[in-house]
Chains A and B, each alone.
Chain A
């Protein structure tokens, strides 16, 4: 399997490692760090996963290449890679939103 790294071009899967679903870390004011809302937000961030059958934005690390973290939108049904962007950029944020919009409804 090849992942088209935006910095290095298409590279073998073995050069990468995956962290899991890409999600935005909660932003909490310092004064509210011990509030219940903060704990709930971080618990959801750390433990809860959509596990969609369809496109999912994920964080991949090109450790044996440019050492960039990438936001990879991947179809979990086919392993088809729909987009790869440099994580933490506006472009990556957009691809993350697009993937969440494209995810089919979870089965009841």
Chain B
């Protein structure tokens, strides 16, 4: 195969040579080349090695259908693997490297795999690498990974950025070939909002790749005229270098635009790609058709190419793919190519037609070259590239010398996008191909994608599809005047591999990219695989990056021949997204690094940062976990100090993350009685109460305090973790379950900064903060009292005497904007009392010491009975979870129920997650009686403590059991005790 540049013609700029490198070799192409056409122009015949057998491979196609020419493009962090050379615009300095070869493309040691073909036959993933099991990690997987050898990722951080953007339109036109151009023109002239997406750098499709005339213009000139009008239409958006990748429900499409610099190389500024979300009311899928290769022994030798691709290189790039061609065809398209090759001065050794008679209209071709009809291809010669073709006709073998074999086995409409929503294409015997019969979800196939291969029919079909799509929307579009064209020869016959075909089936490749042969399909059939989907998965036929564009139908035809069924009965597999490869970086787009997801900071975050707090990720929140002082190197030292300071004096912590929901209206109390399992309606004005919420299945949803500020106005405080879910639940109760209640529910979580001030000295600190100077004593502001008042000189505030630590404590909330001022004021007025700032860890220690359940206990699997909260449950009203919470299974005392645990050895350390096993029993699932949900070191008691759920727990006080942790390998004797370790009488909260 000796490709070379022709002296004239093509859409290349001969004044602009472009230097590039392939496998380190300096080469030169022309502006307007693809990497593939430039390689071909330089006489490069072997562009890669195959996936399994490492056979040398050359170019087969000229676009997304290319199975062989996968390249690594670029260097360093910008190296992109598995790029089809046929889709890369040539640009100065382009570095391309072939893949899947070691040590070099010409001499590949892995080609020895070709001798082991039986090992890699159909289903080899499922057979060869099955046993022994221990071989999987040590032998098979490394072998497969090295041998499979598709390109290498750079392994470096991506230096480029990708953008996400959205477009809305009435009509999306996919593909700017003749049908797509006419569709966009008809709709654009009618004033519809049109998006025309074309993968190529310029509009025209096959108009750029074939010798046609439209009125007085050739294909490229006609395409340029239409492109100019489209650019001037105000409602038309034309996206070039944009591949449409997938369709989703509701008319939503994804398309990838590649941004290029002025010379077609990667963009030097701005994003590298834009991933477009296109919301289209209707669509015309004018993605063209892909030529089918012929399946015969030796059909993978470099030099065997699709006739249409040879035509593309000839007309668009002025590159002859060889010096002496054989055209093997089942279609008239092959004859058109022979005509064009002869006209370009390329020698054509023969036209080999599988049909019995040559088509009419090609008498000049027949006169200029040898014609063999009723023929089959028996084999190819040449190493590594093609030097000859063997043809069988009339039982005679004819040996032909050639460096190019152009094959044409018919066409497959490109309708992958139309099956993304689950619709399956049907076989059309008249067309000899699978197609989508009618519109699917507002998408119409048009042009070659709809089987309209004649140019005039194709143009008309595109315009008509747009007209029909706009009619759906109540818009009227006129058909543009269509240019006069010569009739396109579209005769074709079925030409599939059959079991009687000459040559070895194991050398007749169906899927070139995955190295699936006719023998593999035959084996799959012998092993009982019949359906299109099973054939695909068992042999991996059509599962490579070319999505089986050139392979699937040939494979199905073999299966049909073997089973004696028609192609219609065999059926086609459904195509799945993405139609064009999407880089992972483009899917991530701007959502990377710090922008991966939002971060929520509380209004007092800056204060905590200044004090070098260590932050804990709690959902999207950053919460101060502890505040180390200079010299404190161990977090436990810090936390112990913070706990001791609160229990002995006073501390302040940020509780702004708690969910805050206001409930207001005449029916506010009645509403809360529906949402909570106890009776918030009985809370006096100016008081808070503990509240418990259930799910409808009877398990605990959340807990917190409810505060009543007036007859009709309540504030619910809910846990940080459940804040969003509880608010959604309350809205569901309000809008869906009890819509007749006159009440409004508003989440105000982010509107308030909230501080907890805890410890025996907290009343003095709180009193010093209040504008009205009211005394804060056990009598004037007892535990669970609440008030709206002002602080900081007129700033409205909410004060509630609620405690999570077991100490006398207050929660004070101010508008978020003054949270920072408030905590600084708290520290200032608290300084004489030795106030400390404490974090979530100390808060957690104190709540475990006090036996308060938190997220680890309210895990969605526990009931009010489990938590010892069953006395709160109101029996005389309906509320969410009322009926099912009373089920015997949820109130069974044998369920694991909340208790405290302390180690027999005061020095032992407890950890959450340990199983509770009876003393003397073996650590088996049958003896599992519960688990530790929370465990901390209690500085107050000087030993570890834990909250746990234990079967019959409250009835087993004083019993010694095992805390067994199989993961960490610990087994610690512990004693069951009441969950309130510190101040069980609750005296401290009343000081």
Contacts and interface: CB of A to CB of B under 8 A. Distances in A.
14 contacts: A2-B251, A3-B250, A13-B250, A17-B728, A28-B878, A33-B882, A34-B875, A46-B696, A59-B732, A69-B731, A69-B735, A78-B421, A81-B250, A87-B735
Given A30-B877, A39-B887, A61-B732, A89 B739 contact: yes
Decide if the interface of chain B is mainly helix, strand, loop or mixed.
loop
B594 interface: no
B249 A1 contact: yes
A17 B886 CA distance: 30
Contacts of B875: 33-34
Interface in B695-711: 696-697
A89 to B, nearest CB: 7
Contacts of B735: 68-69, 86-88
B137 interface: no
Interface in A58-100: 59, 61, 63, 67-69, 78-79, 81, 86-89
A65 B147 CA distance: 51
Contacts of A39: 883-884, 886-887
A39 B696 CA distance: 11
Interface string B913-932: 00000000000000000000
Interface in B310-338: none
Interface in B878-904: 878, 882-884, 886-887
B279 interface: yes
A21 interface: no
B227 interface: no
A1 B252 contact: yes
B248 interface: yes
B119 interface: no
B737 interface: yes
A59 B878 contact: no
Nearest to B879: A33
A96 B887 CA distance: 29
B878 A46 contact: no
B233 to A, nearest CB: 25
Nearest to A26: B883
A43 B736 contact: no
A42 B880 CA distance: 10
A1 B248 CA distance: 7
B279 A30 contact: no
Contacts of A68: 735
A102 to B, nearest CB: 20
Interface residues of A, number: 33
Contacts of B421: 78
Nearest to B421: A78
A3 B735 CA distance: 19
Interface in B248-276: 248-252
Contacts of A43: 884
Contact of A30 (B697, B878, B887): B878
A33 B251 contact: no
Given A33-B878, A42-B696, A88-B739, A2 B731 contact: no
Given A25-B737, A45-B696, 9 more contacts: A1-B249, A2-B279, A28-B883, A39-B884, A41-B883, A46-B697, A61-B728, A61-B732, A78-B422
Interface of A: 1-3, 13, 17, 19, 25-26, 28, 30, 33-34, 38-39, 41-43, 45-47, 59, 61, 63, 67-69, 78-79, 81, 86-89
B363 interface: no
The interface size bin for chain B is: 20 to 34
Nearest to A39: B883
B876 interface: yes
Contacts of A61: 728, 731-732
Interface of B: 248-252, 279, 421-422, 696-697, 724, 728, 731-732, 735-737, 739, 875-878, 882-884, 886-887
Contacts of A63: 724, 728
A33 to B, nearest CB: 6
B43 to A, nearest CB: 51
Contact of B250 (A1, A17, A34, A45): A1
B250 A2 contact: yes
Nearest to B441: A78
A68 to B, nearest CB: 7
Contacts of B886: 33-34, 39
B736 A59 contact: yes
Given A61-B728, A69-B731, A30 B696 contact: no
A42 B878 CA distance: 12
Given A2-B252, A67-B731, A88 B736 contact: yes
B697 A69 contact: no
Contacts of B251: 2
Contacts of B732: 19, 59, 61, 69
A7 to B, nearest CB: 12
A43 B889 CA distance: 13
A28 B876 CA distance: 12
Contacts of A78: 421-422
B251 to A, nearest CB: 7
Contacts of A67: 731
A22 B887 CA distance: 24
A26 B883 CA distance: 10
- Residue from B250, B737, B876, B884 whose CB has the most chain A CB atoms within 10 Å: B250
Contacts of A19: 732
A68 B696 CA distance: 20
A14 to B, nearest CB: 11
Contacts of B736: 59, 69, 87-88
B252 A33 contact: no
A28 B696 CA distance: 14
Contacts of B883: 26, 28, 33-34, 38-39, 41-42
A33 B884 CA distance: 10
Contacts of A17: 728
Contacts of B250: 1-3, 13, 79, 81
B496 to A, nearest CB: 34
A66 B423 CA distance: 35
The 6 A-B residue pairs with the shortest CB-CB distance in the complex, in nearest-first order:
A88-B739, A1-B250, A1-B249, A42-B883, A79-B249, A2-B250
A95 to B, nearest CB: 13
Nearest to A45: B696
A89 B735 CA distance: 8
A71 to B, nearest CB: 8
A12 B876 CA distance: 43
A68 B739 CA distance: 12
B676 to A, nearest CB: 16
Nearest to B877: A30
A46 B422 CA distance: 32
Contacts of B249: 1, 79
A62 B474 CA distance: 30
Given A69-B731, A69-B735, A30 B876 contact: yes
A43 B887 CA distance: 10
Nearest to A89: B739
Contacts of A42: 696, 883-884
B837 to A, nearest CB: 34
A18 to B, nearest CB: 12
A50 B252 CA distance: 29
B662 to A, nearest CB: 14
Contacts of B737: 25, 88
A67 B661 CA distance: 14
With a 10 A CB-CB cut-off, give which of B279, B421, B728, B736 has the most chain A CB atoms: B736
Contacts of B887: 39
A42 B735 CA distance: 20
Contacts of B876: 30
A89 B739 CA distance: 8
A11 to B, nearest CB: 11
B512 to A, nearest CB: 36
Contacts of B279: 2
A31 to B, nearest CB: 9
Nearest to A34: B886
Contacts of A87: 735-736
